[in-house]
Amino acid sequence: MKPTDQTSGRAPNIGERTLERGIFASRWILAPIYAGLALSLLMLLVKFGQEFWHMASGLIASSSEDVILGVLALIDLSLMANLLLMIIFGGYQNFVSKLELDGHKDTPDWIGNVGFSDIKLKLMASIVAISAIEVLQGFLTIEKVGTRTVLWGMAVHITFVFSALLLATMDWVIAKSRRSRTW
């Protein structure tokens, strides 16, 4: 049976139908997880506010390096919040239920078009960006954190970059093989 083949949509006996309906309904177990992730955006907002206030209140006495590090920390939190939103929207849409937004004018274009592969690649791209910021922060504070810590950070970052490239390559190969099968 090919993935595009249609089935009758009905299991032959009541026990099997009940089991299949239960398995299908189990996707709703994920809904509270996505709600919890949405609430965790509030925690990121609080941390963003704290970091911003800490940075702004000491701005006059701060060095330009401290300001740069503070802004990098804010960018880091912003990227994390964006990543969280992608996971919430994409995961809910792909694994729980379609988002019925009634054509709301502020609905991002990507919400209805994000597949699991897209989420995976966006997740890796965000992790690489966050990792790059961490490495940059390490370089800017190398005398505090030490060369060894920065080198480990670079090794982890390169691992993330390599993993992202492998995932993108695998998705490209899979998409190419699917296109060749449809011709």
Residue 32 has φ and ψ, to the nearest 5°, of -65, -30
Residue 125 banded pLDDT, cuts 50, 70, 90 = confident
Each residue's pLDDT tens digit, 21-63: 999 999 999 999 999 999 999 999 999 999 999 999 998 998 8
Residue range 66-90, pLDDT digits in tens: 888 889 889 989 988 988 988 888 8
* Longest Cα–Cα distance in the chain: 75
CB atoms inside a 10 Å sphere around CB 57: 10
Distance CA 177, CA 83 (A): 29
How do the domains of the chain map onto residue ranges? 14-182
Residue 34, class by beta-carbon neighbours within 10 Å (0-12 exposed, 13-18 middle, 19+ buried)?
middle
Q: Whole-prediction pTM value?
A: 0.70
The first and second tokens of residue 94, run together, are 């792909």
pLDDT band at 183 (very low <50, low <70, confident <90, very high): low
> Picking from 67-76, 106-115, 150-159, which range would have the lowest pLDDT averaged per residue?
106-115
> Which of the residue ranges 4-8, 28-32, 70-74, 151-155 would you say has the lowest mean pLDDT?
4-8
